[in-house]
Structure 1
Amino acid sequence: MIRRAAAALVLVALAATACGVQPSGAISGDPAPSGPQSTTPGTPGVSSIYLVDNGAVEQVERPGLDLINAALIDALAQGPTSAEKASGLTTEVPRSALPAAVTVSASQVTVQLATDVQALSDLAVKQIVCTLRLRDTPGGSVFTLVGGGNVRSGERCG
């Protein structure tokens, strides 16, 4: 029985070293990010949202904005900052759209709003879709907005 146990230990030791991976100590350095840190490459702590400028959506950087998708929709509904207002920016996303929830799957982004999505202006829909498109949504995702017993599907930015 001792011979069998010794033979088993030898086999386990050989198998562990046969893969070619050598043991190493702890790897030092910065911890890996737990999620996306920015929607603007190279600018940590900055997210981008889309506001309305003269009847078109325009990307605006927001330092320190929470990167959670629902928080981005909240920022749209809260509207522009005083500096953004002074630049003529507005929002079409009503506060009645809150609270919002966002679900992202392989090819689908579903946005659940607290308002009737059929009552949203086309600019409000573009603000939401364009803002979320910047996030970790898979390329070619279909955006569906749900709320008030209605659905708007196949929405795109642009």
Structure 2
Amino acid sequence: MSDVPIIRTERFKLRPLIYTDTKALYPTFADDVQCRYLSRPAFESEDALWEWLAEPGWNGRTWIAEDEQGEVAGRFVAVPGHEEGIEEIGYVTCADRQGEGVARECTAALVSHLVQTEGKRKVIAEVDLENVPSIRLLTGLGFTREALFREHETTHKGLCDLAVYGLLASDPLP
């Protein structure tokens, strides 16, 4: 796994994943409703979640959003894209923290870090077309829908339409 630098926002510290984060993330990742837009179903155990989070062969990076009290508020990821200079992001806000602006604040900070600090030329996100809150988040941060793939991916909920959103380094950053 690549180096995961600490990124600070007004309310959160985005830091590397550690084993004990599994306990805080599990209630969200074990909930069928919360996992409806993941490519896999909800997790059956904390051990299974940890194996997935810490998969040694995965080429992405994970940041955990931790508030000032040390509470875990979400998971944010960046994965190298199909060519140099492109990074794909993903995010999950813990169910008990949804509606607090965690995803917006932390995703904006991650995107800014990827572009301004790491020099990425483009950041993308793939989103299930039914995931309206995620689409609202991305468009609110200045992302543009670049592609729509109909009946593109089969997940635990069936065949899904997938949209790709992108933000160029030359676009206004969040």
Sort the TM-score into its range (normalised by shorter chain). 0.3 to 0.5
Structure having the higher strand fraction is 2
- TM-score, normalised on structure 1? 0.36
Instruction: From the CA coordinates, give the structure whose radius of gyration is larger.
Output: 1
Structure having the higher helix fraction is 1
